[in-house]
Chain A
Amino acid sequence: MKKYWQITKNTWDETLTYRTSFIVYRLRELLQLVATYFLWLFVVPAHGSFLGYTQAMMLTYVIGSAFVSDIVFSSRTSAIAGEINEGVLNNFLVRPLSYLRYYFARDLGDKAMNVTFSLIELSLIVIIFHIPFYLQHNLVTILLFFITTFLAMVLNFFISVLISLIGFWSNEGWGPRFIFYSVIGFLSGGMFPLDILPRPIFTIFQLLPFSSLSYFPVKIYLGQFDGVFLLRGEVTLVVWIAIMYVVTMKVWNKGLHAYTAQGI
């Protein structure tokens, strides 16, 4: 356990070392948020509502989902495909550590850094643009929000690793990953609340694992849930984590058989 904690700390330090790269990443996140924010500011009337959302509700949702996305989606696992392609994986296979746990530890360090910056940026945006951001005061709801966000983070870890494992069979790992995550950004409710979509599509989206990554935690934070919604959401989340874990391990083992250990 100690060695993984050290890896988490190293990742934090590493991010601070390569500051320019990190700044570019944050700039991208900020740009994405500002674009989404202004789009909805334009679409939702200042007085009145749009598909059941007032402007304040919609903007709070956008800001909230940006924060959740920073916790859930920030990940170092995108490097896995490259490490497989270039044979760097060899170094890990001969060491007394689990490659997947190593990356989970790295993710924790990366997320800690991103959450810190995200909090600062979002606070500034709320202050600068005078956004009527809704602060949740109910401690139980806040606790539920953090538990759900943690589970969403675990689910995303397995999804992200699974996409990177494509590196065992193809050296075109970056493209599919980028496209997949752009699609997930939409399906997860990262750009807008999914319940504004037509009912049948919304129902299908709720059954997919992606709505658990952003839409579900933000709805909990906003306190817009009842017992049935909560239970169904949490069960969906846990079931998808179990499924993704099994699939990831199977693909990992299959990939290791196909691995040619380039460079040996």
Chain B
Amino acid sequence: MKLYLKTYWRFLVVNLAEFHAYRMNLINTLISSLTWGIFSIIGPLLLTSRVSIVAGWKREDLLILVAAQSVLVGIYDCIFGRNLNLLPRYSELGQLDSFLLKPINEQFFISLQKINYGSLLRSLIGVLFFLYLVFSYKTQLTISGLFIAGLSLLMGLLTLYGIWFMAMTLTVWFPRISNISDLLYTLRGITRYPEQIIREVSIYVFILFFPLTFVASRPSAILLQKLGTDQIFLCFGVMVVVLFLSRKFWLYALRSYTSASS
């Protein structure tokens, strides 16, 4: 455990140095995060400006869901985003070797070595928007509710990681499908919608997207007391299952990894 903590600390330091060193990239990342953060809020604000209720969710509830999703996406992109998007490249160029040969868990190294600090700006915008909503709509929140919702959002983050990692693992067999990340970004966009919308569409679609409803929709519903706090156990269960499956799938995929020129 100590080794992993020490290694992650090194990742944090090295990436911070890199973040400072390449000024143009820094400006580029910050502008992108700022634009995306603001836009992801303005879009739903405009769209809901003439709607009072959708699928049993009031306008302010929908906006709280958007804020929660923004916070989650910012953290996800900071910790995992860049790492998982590099996976097809490692597979195609045979660079997985360097991770497999290190005396440390390869999934840990691949998933966490790159940190995109700029993305945290998006989370910050999400937090500020959330506070604005809570104060302007005088939303009734309790400390325990906030804590449980925060915890379930964290589980949602890990569930999203598991789904993403599982999908990216496919690139071990098909390295050319690097654009699978675009598909995943679209899927992630669906987490902005209340699960009731997906449920109403079709039961088959709901089953297909079931784990995605645990990413932001359910934590927000817990926060808004639309669901009981006991839902946290379900969030935990789904997270464990998704992470377990993603690990097993990864190990299975590695058996097919043929490397390159080694």
Contacts and interface: CB of A to CB of B under 8 A. Distances in A.
Interface of A: 18, 20-21, 24-25, 27-28, 31-32, 35, 38-39, 41-43, 51, 166, 169-172, 174-176, 178-180, 182-183, 186, 192, 196-198, 201
The 5 closest A-B pairs by CB, nearest first: A28-B183, A179-B36, A170-B24, A38-B201, A176-B32
Contacts of A38: 197, 201, 205
B193 interface: yes
Contact of A25 (B43, B55, B179): B179
User: Secondary structure at chain B's binding surface: helix, strand, loop or mixed?
Assistant: helix
B189 interface: yes
A35 B201 CA distance: 10
Interface in B166-182: 174, 176-180, 182
A171 B23 CA distance: 11
Given A51-B50, A179-B35, A180-B35, 15 more contacts: A20-B174, A20-B177, A21-B176, A25-B183, A28-B182, A28-B183, A43-B51, A169-B24, A170-B24, A170-B28, A174-B85, A176-B31, A182-B39, A198-B49, A198-B50
B190 A183 contact: no
Contacts of B49: 197-198
Q: What size tier do the contact residues of chain B reach?
A: 35 or more
Nearest to A174: B85
A106 B211 CA distance: 39
- Most B CB atoms within 10 A — which of A25, A27, A31, A170? A170
17 contacts: A20-B176, A20-B177, A21-B178, A24-B179, A24-B183, A31-B183, A35-B190, A38-B201, A41-B201, A42-B54, A43-B51, A170-B28, A172-B25, A172-B32, A178-B185, A179-B36, A197-B49
B187 interface: yes
B179 A28 contact: yes
Interface in B22-41: 22, 24-25, 28-29, 31-32, 35-36, 39
Given A176-B28, A179-B36, A196-B50, A42 B200 contact: yes
Interface in B137-179: 174, 176-179
A104 B64 CA distance: 43
Contacts of A182: 36, 39
Interface string B10-31: 0000000000001011001101
A192 B47 contact: yes
Given A28-B179, A31-B186, A43-B51, A172 B28 contact: yes
B101 interface: no
B5 interface: no
